[in-house]
Structure 1
Amino acid sequence: MESLVKEENTSAKKLRSALDGVHRAGVPGVFAEVRAGERIWRGAAGVADLETGRPVETGMRQRVGSITKTFVSAAVLRQVEEGRLGLDEPIGDHLPQLVPGDRGRAITVRMLLNHTSGLAEYLPYAFPSLKEFAPGSLDDNRFRQFRPAELIEMGVGAPATGEPGSTPGIYSNTNYLLLGELLEHLTGTPVEAHVFRAVIEPAGLANTGFPAGPRIEEPHSRMYEALFGAIDPPRDYSVYTMSWVMTGAGLVSTVGDLNRFYRKLLDGEIVSPSSLTEMQRLVPVIAQDGRRIDYGLGLYKTETPEGIFWGHDGTVWGAMTMAWAGADSGRQFAAAMNLVRWRKPDAEGTTHPIDDALATLKHQALCDPATDLCSAP
């Protein structure tokens, strides 16, 4: 379940302890990969199936949620590099039927990428029970085949969250469904196939792709959704049709592939250096959980005592994933968990043991053991 390029040392033992801590805090199963140059640590703790006790393993597939946005953004930037698109072109020039009139002329491709379009999130309309923190819609939509256009219409038709280009932006999956439609319009190819050929395949990611149906065929964990305590005990949503969020959060990958992808991205092997500079041009954005984050084009920044790291995190029903990479240090961390939305509404203002344990794991994964920064967070 665990491997080291070199003999296990104190840092690896601390990583092992921190990973076990996330499991002890209440996550059924968690697995991770940490890279520091040529050194690689992998570990897993807990179970993939609460009924059978089947253990999680480090190579399992995971629904990676909004990490998908970095892949879609890279595909859009490659279209810019080929001269087929401009970041500051109005989306209405390309998709007037989806964003008509003055809004289509005011909202640019860049605004979709960095969530400053003012377009509302469609999820409360596609999953109406979420407004009451009730799970009915999650079960109703398990095998529903949404069309991107109908979801986009929900977001475009909802009250705007702000003027196009204003900050802070409001995080919205409507933006990335529109970018998926834009890529199809420009390439004449289904967006899932285009992202695979333009980004995933050149990056050498053998275990990453959009699912063909509601099931993940390769070894994976069950995925337990708590919906802030509304589903107790948490329910398995590992079998789920992902049409509700495909180019916003539909990818399946592994922690190893995610680390490989973000290393290649930051090293200029996915998009050009000038495109990467655009991806790292930040604006303030309000995330779905209310955090204020520094967001670029499908990529955002986190600052820790150990330095600056770039990447993304993401959730879908039952699964949470994160991936971070240091541009200078070369240190990387990707982790996957099979429980999400564990915090109950009445717990606001307090920390949950899982949150504390995840903070410890992230700190231990990203700190440099050659310095004194690996003390307690």
Structure 2
Amino acid sequence: MNKGFKVVAMLLAFAGFATVYAQEPAITAPSITQQTLQDEVADAPVEAGVEDSAEDGQPALTAQDLRIWLDGYLGASLASADIAGAVVSVVKDGEILLSQGYGHADVEADKPMDPARTLVRVGSTSKLFTWTAVMQLVEQGRLDLDQDVNEYLDFRLPERDGRAVTMNDLMTHRGGFEEGLKALLITDPELYISNETYLKEHMRPRIFAAGETPAYSNYGTALAGYIVERISGEPFDDYVDRHLLEPLGMAHSSFRQPLPPALAENLSRGYMTSKDEPWPFEFVTSSPAGSLSATADDMAKFMLMHLQQGEYRGQVILRAETAQQMHSPSAPSQPGFATLAHGFFYGEKNGHRFIGHGGDTVVFHTDMNLLPDEGVGFFVSFNSRGSQDAVYGVRQRLFDDFMDRYFPADAEAAEQPALANAAEQARAVAGYYQSSRRIETAFLKLVYVLQQAEVVANEDGTLGLSAEPDKRFRYVAANTWREEGGDKLLHIAPVDGRLTLTDSDNPVSVMQAVPAAESAGLNLFVLLASAGVLLFAVLAWPVAWRYRRLYRQPPPLAGRSLLAYRLARVAALASLAYLVGWYFAFQPLLQNQLDAYGLGMDGLLRSLQFAAVVPLVAAAVGLWNVRLSIGSGRWGAILFSLVLAAALLGVVWVAWVGKLMGFNLEY
């Protein structure tokens, strides 16, 4: 491939990544070819013996019916999506109704997934154990949910806007913390650091006042785990073992990293796809937020405990009143919008109340949902991302179909008509929005700028979302938009003078309108246009030199004008090199290698931060070239010098907006 085209490809990749990583996405829908998946599931063989309820022909939730349905669904899903394996456990009426493994825990060794023995990394579903531990201390009177958490720490979180952070803020992801990626996941055991070290050495800035704006935070949950450790006087792993895992009989589960040898030998391998090599063990430095390894059968015991108001086989983990409090909403919400219940996600599906939590590492993907009123719990974990990240769609569709099959809505909701001023309202809220779960103070800000969602006003008065192009939203009530043919709601209204979009399915972040200067549309255009002009200038320079030499023509400029011309081309090359350097800094995100963002990246980042002088000097040279070109009287030279200077200034602009300029190494 021509070197010039390689540079173009690198810059396009640098500018074009839209999704980076997420444990809880904002309004972006996971990517999967759903029609293909549904067709394959529909074609899967169904055995005889499916039971219907006597009343309405609706399938009854029995072990037999569930196994037949899951065998068809997951058998087709894993094969079509290149997912190596999955485990499922479903509980009902105080018992394990079904636990089942599908596919492989180790592809090369042909080792099957075993729900009783195979451990999976459950990611952020681990948080529910941390919040359960918090509620144990609350019921003992040793922890106050409304107390400033600084009272429990041996270091201080700075206040913002006069508001201290409380434990309730942490449980509702309203601590105001900036997102953090540095040292979050590590695959080299030599680089692994403790949760305490992580909290103290990588403190996240506060970008919102406490108690106000939801912004999902692993750092906040890690703080809660450290507070459990401080109050109890026990290391967090020991506390969870003694007060949760051992009483529940979860003998095949642990927060410890690395796992004890007896458990490690049964840990499932993780894969990008079933065709790839196994992924290394992922050390989660904010361990209370995501380090649990567990079997599906053990997770069934945890579900049963919560469904039975804190009790499991005579072991009281939480008093009934504490469990009821934990399962009750702890954050404000509007009708039809999900919220949080002391760490649980809380919402309704088909008219049925559910609480739960998902979890993702790079390669493991988990979901756990409880239906408290029906006494039913559903746990699933996959050990692969799948082709084109298909696992996210498979996982979401699995629970949706489970609910539609066994707990359907009484009747389809009637389509609400659009209000008369829908088109006007659509135009008023259209624009670019960014997630409250973001980085603002370090170089990864550029990622969040480029992955903003665009809200589009359609000609028919509906709204469209760039993240969900197949959906349209109708204006049905003041500030409220409803998905056509669906249940999703959007609420878009000013909050503190800034348009804010709330997604009914997502209680842990909001989307906030951005000023034009920081919009993805403008900055993507500036980045690509600048890179294109710089590349043209660099490639045209030797071509022009070769042409003049071939036809023995003298340079069109002389003296200082010729010097400025040549230096401007050198400046273009230097600015391109600067962008390519940052591309390599972002490349691990493109390849989901989050472990690259540890201490080992600091040297490269510091070099690039010092290299910020390059685009600044280059822009100054470009402006000097414009000044001298104007003096030459050659309109072609004047015009291109202006375009080149604009491109050099464009690099400075993008670097400034994206926080590539500065010396912050905490991201």
Deviation readout 1:277-332 (Å, 9 max, x if unpaired): 442324379xxxxxx95222221124322722222111123211211121011222
Aligned partners of 2:304, 2:148: CA distance in 1, in Å?
31
Query: Which residues of 2 match residues 106-125 of structure 1 at below 5 A?
Result: 106-122=164-180, 124-125=181-182
Give 1:283's match in structure 2, choosing from 326, 331, 334. Answer: 331
Aligned partners of 1:213, 1:43: CA distance in 2, in Å?
26
> Is 2:67 the partner of 1:30?
no
Pick which of 275-284 and 362-371 moved more: 362-371
C-alpha contact 2:63 2:97 (8 A) present in aligned 1: no
> Is 2:73 the partner of 1:18?
yes
State the AA in 1 paired with 2:111.
Answer: R
Shift, 1:116, TM fit: 0.6
Pick which of 19-28 and 355-364 moved more: 355-364
- 1:191–1:105 Cα change, 3 Å: farther
- 1:235–1:112 Cα change, 3 Å: farther
State the AA in 2 paired with 1:163.
Answer: A
Aligned partners of 2:74, 2:269: CA distance in 1, in Å?
19
Give 2:394's match in structure 1, choosing from 354, 357, 365. Answer: 357
Aligned partners of 1:342, 1:281: CA distance in 2, in Å?
37
Give 2:115's match in structure 1, choosing from 47, 58, 72. Answer: 58
Aligned partners of 2:198, 2:332: CA distance in 1, in Å?
25
User: Could you say which residue in structure 2 is the equivalent of 1:67?
Assistant: 125
C-alpha contact 2:122 2:293 (8 A) present in aligned 1: yes
Give 1:271's match in structure 2, choosing from 311, 318, 321. Answer: 318
User: Could you say which residue in structure 2 is the equivalent of 1:252?
Assistant: 293
Shift, 1:205, TM fit: 2.0
C-alpha contact 2:106 2:112 (8 A) present in aligned 1: yes
User: Could you say which residue in structure 1 is the equivalent of 2:199?
Assistant: 152
Query: Which residues of 2 match residues 1-377 of structure 1 at below 5 A?
Result: 9-24=64-79, 25-37=81-93, 38=95, 40-59=97-116, 60-95=118-153, 97-100=155-158, 106-122=164-180, 124-126=181-183, 139=187, 141=188, 143-153=190-200, 156-158=203-205, 160-167=206-213, 169-213=214-258, 216-225=263-272, 234=276, 236-242=278-284, 244-269=285-310, 270-279=317-326, 280-283=328-331, 294-305=339-350, 307-340=352-385, 343=388, 352=390, 354-366=391-403, 369=406
Shift, 1:241, TM fit: 3.3
* TM-score normalised to structure 1 length: 0.78
Shift, 1:364, TM fit: 4.5
Shift, 1:8, TM fit: 6.6
C-alpha contact 1:221 1:238 (8 A) present in aligned 2: no
State the AA in 2 paired with 1:21.
Answer: A
State the AA in 2 paired with 1:330.
Answer: G
C-alpha contact 2:268 2:383 (8 A) present in aligned 1: yes
State the AA in 2 paired with 1:174.
Answer: Y
Shift, 1:65, TM fit: 1.1
C-alpha contact 2:160 2:209 (8 A) present in aligned 1: no
C-alpha contact 1:21 1:357 (8 A) present in aligned 2: no
- 1:342–1:77 Cα change, 3 Å: farther
Partner SS, residue 283 of structure 1: coil
Partner SS, residue 23 of structure 1: helix
Aligned partners of 2:86, 2:360: CA distance in 1, in Å?
14
Pick which of 272-281 and 232-241 moved more: 232-241
Shift, 1:181, TM fit: 1.6
User: Could you say which residue in structure 1 is the equivalent of 2:550?
Assistant: none
Partner SS, residue 48 of structure 1: strand
Aligned partners of 1:107, 1:8: CA distance in 2, in Å?
45
Partner SS, residue 97 of structure 2: strand
Contiguous gaps of at least 5 residues in structure 2: 1-60, 311-316, 411-485, 487-667
C-alpha contact 2:358 2:367 (8 A) present in aligned 1: yes
- 1:78–1:114 Cα change, 3 Å: same
Aligned partners of 2:331, 2:357: CA distance in 1, in Å?
15
Deviation readout 1:59-118 (Å, 9 max, x if unpaired): 211111111111111111111111111110001112151424568961011111221110
State the AA in 1 paired with 2:97.
Answer: I
Pick which of 49-58 and 359-368 moved more: 359-368
Shift, 1:17, TM fit: 0.6
Percentage of matched positions with identical amino acids: 23
- 1:201–1:306 Cα change, 3 Å: farther
C-alpha contact 2:137 2:143 (8 A) present in aligned 1: yes
User: Could you say which residue in structure 2 is the equivalent of 1:133?
Assistant: none
Deviation readout 1:118-140 (Å, 9 max, x if unpaired): 02233x2226xxxxxxxxx855x
State the AA in 2 paired with 1:268.
Answer: Q
- 1:79–1:370 Cα change, 3 Å: closer
User: Could you say which residue in structure 1 is the equivalent of 2:561?
Assistant: none
- 1:206–1:78 Cα change, 3 Å: same
- 1:147–1:357 Cα change, 3 Å: closer
* TM-score normalised to structure 2 length: 0.46
Aligned partners of 2:257, 2:242: CA distance in 1, in Å?
16
Aligned partners of 2:270, 2:123: CA distance in 1, in Å?
12
- 1:148–1:369 Cα change, 3 Å: closer
- 1:39–1:189 Cα change, 3 Å: closer
Aligned partners of 2:159, 2:62: CA distance in 1, in Å?
63
Partner SS, residue 295 of structure 1: strand
C-alpha contact 1:120 1:156 (8 A) present in aligned 2: no
Aligned positions, number: 336
RMSD: 3.2
C-alpha contact 2:175 2:211 (8 A) present in aligned 1: yes
State the AA in 2 paired with 1:43.
Answer: Q
Higher relative contact order (CA 8 A, sep 6+): 1
User: Could you say which residue in structure 2 is the equivalent of 1:348?
Assistant: none
Which protein shows a greater Rg? 2
Aligned partners of 1:39, 1:102: CA distance in 2, in Å?
47
Structure number with higher helix proportion: 2
